[in-house]
Amino acid sequence: MGFFRFIFSKTFLIQLVLAGIVLVVLAFLAMQWLDYSTNQDQRIEVPDLAKMNLDIVEDRLDELNLDFEILDSANFNPDFPRYSVIEQAPAPGKFVKEDRKIYLTLNPSGYRKVEIPENLIRKTRRQVEPTLRSLGFEIGDVSYKPDIAEDAVLEIRHKGKLVEAGEKLMKTSVLDLVLGDGSGRYRELEDDSLDVQQETESEVDEF
């Protein structure tokens, strides 16, 4: 009677429930450890995804049970196809586990547009050229026309069209510079015009 009374007692039932909980927890931990230990030696080599578009990337990573995420787009690189992978992390050749994400940076569709800065006109060629090159532009033809300032930038042109400050052009655009030749001829022309005007006025006064 005492044995049966103990079996159906509150104390025994509480201990039985606690033992069941401990058993379930231990079983769960054992399964997690087994899963970890069995995947511990699983190593997948990261493929080189450079210059691949996203359709090919997705198929390639699916075959290896890997995932990917696009981080951002980089500056346009003409050596890579548009919208192709330009950078990846982890790097090719690294070993990862199944379902690991590969982070990708894509090549954009083209060069971005860059604004022509102000205050370039009347500055020297030595000042203007480095400024334009640092913005990604290329310097094309350099021509001269009469002006009192030698090598001062009088005009900036793109494909024959005059370029104004604040205008946006595609990076790597070729800009032509029109510089002063230092001859000062525009002053001479002004003086000649003034002399002609004075002579004309004198003739009118005589009449």
pLDDT in tens, 168-194: 998 889 999 999 998 876 544 444 444
For residue range 93-144, list pLDDT tens digits in order: 999 988 899 999 999 878 888 999 999 999 999 999 999 999 989 999 999 9
Give the closest residue to 73 by CA, choosing from 41, 105, 117, 31: 105
Name all domains of the chain by residue range, CATH numbers in brackets: 44-106 (3.30.10.20), 113-186 (3.30.10.20)
Distance CA 150, CA 122 (A): 10
pLDDT score for 172: 86
Distance CA 158, CA 114 (A): 13
pLDDT score for 36: 61
pLDDT score for 203: 44
Q: Dihedral sign, CA of 147, 151, 156, 160?
A: positive
Distance CA 107, CA 47 (A): 18
Whole-model pTM: value is 0.49
